[in-house]
Amino acid sequence: ITQHNFQDETAMLPKLLSVCVPLVFDVVRSDKDREIVCCALECTNEMLKELKAAMISDEEYLDALIELVRDVLQHKTASQKDSEDDSFCEDVEDDSELTTVLVDFAGSILPSLATAMGGVKFTPYFKMFLPLIIPKEGRNRSERSLAAGTLAEICQAMKESIIPFTENMYTVFLTGIKDSSDEVISNSVFGMGVLVESSGTTLAPKYSEILGVLSHFLKEDGDRRTIDNVLGAVSRMIIANPAALPLDSIFPTFVKWLPLQEDMEENQVVYNAIFSLLSSSCQVALEQLPALLPIMVSELTNKKVDDVAKAKITEILKGVSSQYADLTLKSLTSDQAEILRQALSHNVNGS
């Protein structure tokens, strides 16, 4: 709408939705070409992310979307019933994998829907979808991984509204963490961290058990993405309830496995946790500064680290170098000190 400079964007949106939404939904439901159906599901998700509540303000669209996603999850659409054309996705081995691709696209709509509606309003729908998402016994690796990832993203979108489901979700993620697949484990570890973050202090009595399970993945030959997700989960525990954690014993180990290498999106929560501890003058965090400082400075030149994470790192370094100037200089090489100087200079000039 904006691109075409309509004078009354608000008035135009319902008209556009009245044309687009039924058309896209009909493609998902009736088209037999899986590639086209996946594109239609992706289009639906992108519209929902962009328009949020505006897309589902009409209850008819909301009901239709709920029914559509449910039908895909239950394998009721035309493309899921017709297994003759398996040409889509050359890297997929069989029809069950093709079906998983469709379910993945449909499942990704649910976190977007939770965000658009808000956790409270989404709660009854989550209760309805939950039995369809949780993997049943005998499901393949892709389906188990998909379930863990979808549930994790829904928990993140629902925020504190997930609390009534905490016990159920804890069991689901704990089961996933004990899976044989690295992909399932990684998604489940992420989910456990998000659940802790969204549940506030609800899971504090489980922290010891969670830490014990997560610690098994911190090994030299471990899956690096899983290790990154462990660091992200611990960061979320630190943010949610630092007083319930044995920081003296876990934080030095936490620092040892930094920086992240695979799941770079977790950088934001990792450095938010570090910032939180340093801001509260946590003794063990201050003791780890000689190890942390070179890591953080090096991350400023890492192209894989996004600007948001770099901004938080710079904020941390600005505070630390101001309060502990001598320690900062002693902890860095001359090259690192120059990188820090330039970063802080740029930060001052930029502000």
SS3 track for the chain: CHHHCCCCHHHHHHHHHHHHHHHHHHHHHHCCCHHHHHHHHHHHHHHHHHHHHHHHCCHHHHHHHHHHHHHHHCCCCHHHHCCCCCCCCCCCCCHHHHHHHHHHHHHCHHHHHHHHHCHHHHHHHHHHHHHHHCCCCCCCHHHHHHHHHHHHHHHHHHHHHHHHHHHHHHHHHHHHHCCCCHHHHHHHHHHHHHHHHHCCCCCHHHHHHHHHHHHCCCCCCCCHHHHHHHHHHHHHHHHHCHHHCCHHHHHHHHHHCCCCCCCHHHHHHHHHHHHHHHHCCCHHHHHCHHHHHHHHHHHCCCCCCCHHHHHHHHHHHHHHHHHCHHHHHHHCCHHHHHHHHHHHHHHHHHC
- pLDDT score at 83: 53
Tell me the C-alpha distance between 106 and 68, whole Å: 9
For residue 1, the model assigns a pLDDT of 39
238 vs 193: CA distance, rounded Å: 10
pLDDT at site 8: 56
340: Cα within 13 Å, side-chain hemisphere: 25
Cα–Cα distance between 172 and 158 in angstroms, integer? 17
Q: Which distant-in-sequence residues (6+ apart) come within 8 Å of 221 by Cβ?
A: none
Q: Are 340 and 321 in contact (CB under 8 A)?
A: yes
Joined tokens for residue 229: 């997700």
Residue 105: is it exposed, middle or buried by C-beta count within 10 angstroms (0-12/13-18/19+)?
buried
Per-residue pLDDT of the chain (351 residues; tens, 9 = 90+): 344 544 455 668 888 888 899 999 999 999 999 889 999 999 999 999 999 999 998 899 999 999 999 999 999 999 988 654 444 444 444 555 667 889 999 999 999 999 999 999 999 999 999 999 998 777 889 999 999 999 999 999 999 999 999 999 999 999 999 999 999 999 999 999 999 999 999 999 999 999 999 999 999 999 999 999 999 999 999 999 999 999 999 999 999 999 999 999 999 999 999 999 999 999 999 999 999 999 999 999 999 999 999 999 999 999 999 999 999 999 999 999 999 999 999 876 555
| 104 phi-psi bin (left φ>0, alpha ψ -120 to 50, beta other) | alpha
- What is the rounded CA–CA span in Å between residue 228 and residue 258? 8
How many CB atoms are closer than 10 A to CB 46?
11
Chain centroid, CA 266 distance in Å: 8
Four-CA torsion 287, 288, 294, 297, nearest 10 degrees = -90
- Cβ neighbours around 264 below 10 Å, total: 17
pLDDT at 137: 75
Residue 300 is encoded by which pair of tokens? 């400023």
What are φ and ψ of residue 212, in 5° steps?
A: -65, -40
Structure tokens at 81: 């019933």
CA-CA distance, 335 to 342, in Å (whole number)? 11
pTM above 0.75, yes or no: yes
The residue type of 261 is Q
